[in-house]
Amino acid sequence: MLIVQKFGGTSVGTTERMRNVAARCLAAQREGHDVAVVVSAMSGETNRLLKLVAELHDDPNDREVDVIVSTGEQVSVGLVSLAIRKAGGKARSFLGHQVKIVTDSAFSRARILSIDSEPIREAMARVEIAVIAGFQGVDEQGNITTLGRGGSDTTGVAIAAALKADVCEIYTDVDGVYTTDPNTVPTARKIDRISYEEMLELASLGAKVLQIRSVELGMKYGVPIHVRSSFSDVPGTWVVPEEREMESVVVSGVTVARDEAKITVEDLPDTAGVAAKLFTPLAANNIVVDMIVQNQAWDGTTDLTFTVPQGDRKRALEILKKEVPDLVGFEGERTSCDDEICKISVVGVGMRSHAGVARKMFELLATERINIQLISTSEIKISCVIARKYAELALRVLHEGFALHLPPSERAAL
């Protein structure tokens, strides 16, 4: 088999832990597999570098910031290569410009355009373990770029896709993907197998175990992803193409996202084009609007409520006041904000063939008198915005209500 192993920051947090990484990839090599390794920066390192940056600079989307933060992974690949050699193996580090991983030029959130996997194949032919820096690439002009938080996951899956690997193993400090956050709900269960689509929704909706982009790439190129612990040998969670038996599982997981804020604009004229007028300037400023609800009032006016990333809320209001002052008025007059919200979601491919999930979700929240402020749905998920103070309570109620503490086979139908 050809295996790509990706190790996160805690897995390479000390040189001692790097010895474990070395032992693990050499063990895979001894079993007869070809192995390539992708590593993150040592835990804490990226934050240390960003703190230095913050002493001089406000904007993280900057060419020079990528030059600086990409050094974290550079140190890791060198050290892990030394650890593998120390353990008796052969290893060679590869940086983004050496692999080479070409991206667009969107600094701090670049997307991979192409990978030249030939240098890695040559290393494998020499029975060397290729140790590849995660998170970084170069654009077509040779500038260093980075892929955003969690970008090493994406590097791992992209390398696996380029090598047509049999699996991309994502080693992390948890032993898989859970039905919900086990810190909040102790009865949360590890999921054995999950489809790319469900994983994509879970990752988008608050589960932090995989970068969204890495799941997209896995789905696009059909790379099986195995999320597992670097501190044990128990199998983790396989993220794979949808399988027939997955449909019988109505709900796979429950998530909460706390990083959005809500903006409401009241008394808008109920005429065509009003929503477009509001959202066009936001889109032009790269503010992503997530959920939108419009209520028609009896007097011919309308109210519009929507959510934006919490970090963009202040900027969003400023833009609206500047661009469409006639619509938004003064804050406190027609426009109000709420940062104390959260988005709670249930996800499952089984929803496609099972009606009644939404009804049951609303009923469960109602039993605890949790008011639903906004609702949005897709084919395989339902999300509700509620007051943030209810986040943990809602997670527990939904987790128990959908019987996620039981093995999938033992869960009753709705």
101 lies in the site for a second copy, by CB under 8 A: no
63 lies in the site for a second copy, by CB under 8 A: yes
- Residues paired with residue 34 on neighbouring β-strands, in sequence order: 2
Q: Do residues 130 and 92 touch, judged by C-beta distance below 8 A? A: yes
Q: Which stretch binds a second copy (CB under 8 A): 66-74, 261-269, 329-337, 401-409?
A: 66-74
75 lies in the site for a second copy, by CB under 8 A: yes
Question: Exactly one of 57, 149, 322, 352 binds a second copy (CB under 8 A); which one?
Answer: 57
Helix locations, 229-306, DSSP H: 274-284
Q: Do residues 12 and 76 touch, judged by C-beta distance below 8 A? A: yes
77 lies in the site for a second copy, by CB under 8 A: yes
Amino acid at 38: V
Give the whole-angstrom CA distance, residue 114 versus residue 92: 21
The dihedral of CA 122, 126, 129, 133: what is its sign?
negative
- Minimum separation from the CB atom of position 189 to a second copy (A): 38
Question: Exactly one of 31, 64, 118, 140 binds a second copy (CB under 8 A); which one?
Answer: 64
Q: Which stretch binds a second copy (CB under 8 A): 79-87, 170-178, 335-343, 373-381?
A: 79-87
Helix (H) or strand (E) holding 172, with range, is strand 167-172
322 lies in the site for a second copy, by CB under 8 A: no
- Give the count of beta carbons closer than 10 Å to the beta carbon of residue 220: 11
Interface pattern 256-295 for a second copy (x via CB under 8 A) = ----------------------------------------
65 lies in the site for a second copy, by CB under 8 A: yes
Give the whole-angstrom CA distance, residue 196 versus residue 31: 28
55 lies in the site for a second copy, by CB under 8 A: yes
60 lies in the site for a second copy, by CB under 8 A: no
Give the whole-angstrom CA distance, residue 334 versus residue 265: 6
Residue 50 contacts by C-beta under 8 Å, 6 or more apart in sequence? 60, 65, 69
Q: Which of residues 11-40 bind a second copy (CB under 8 A)?
A: 15-16, 18-19
In 3D space, the residue among 270, 272, 265 whose CA is nearest the CA of residue 324 turns out to be 265
Question: Exactly one of 3, 144, 157, 246 binds a second copy (CB under 8 A); which one?
Answer: 144
Strand segments, DSSP code E, in 40-89 are: none
Give the whole-angstrom CA distance, residue 316 versus residue 338: 13
- Minimum separation from the CB atom of position 98 to a second copy (A): 6
Query: By the criterion CB under 8 A, which residues form the site for a second copy?
Result: 15-16, 18-19, 49, 52-53, 55-57, 62-65, 67-68, 70-71, 74-75, 77-79, 81-83, 85-86, 91-93, 95, 97-98, 142, 144
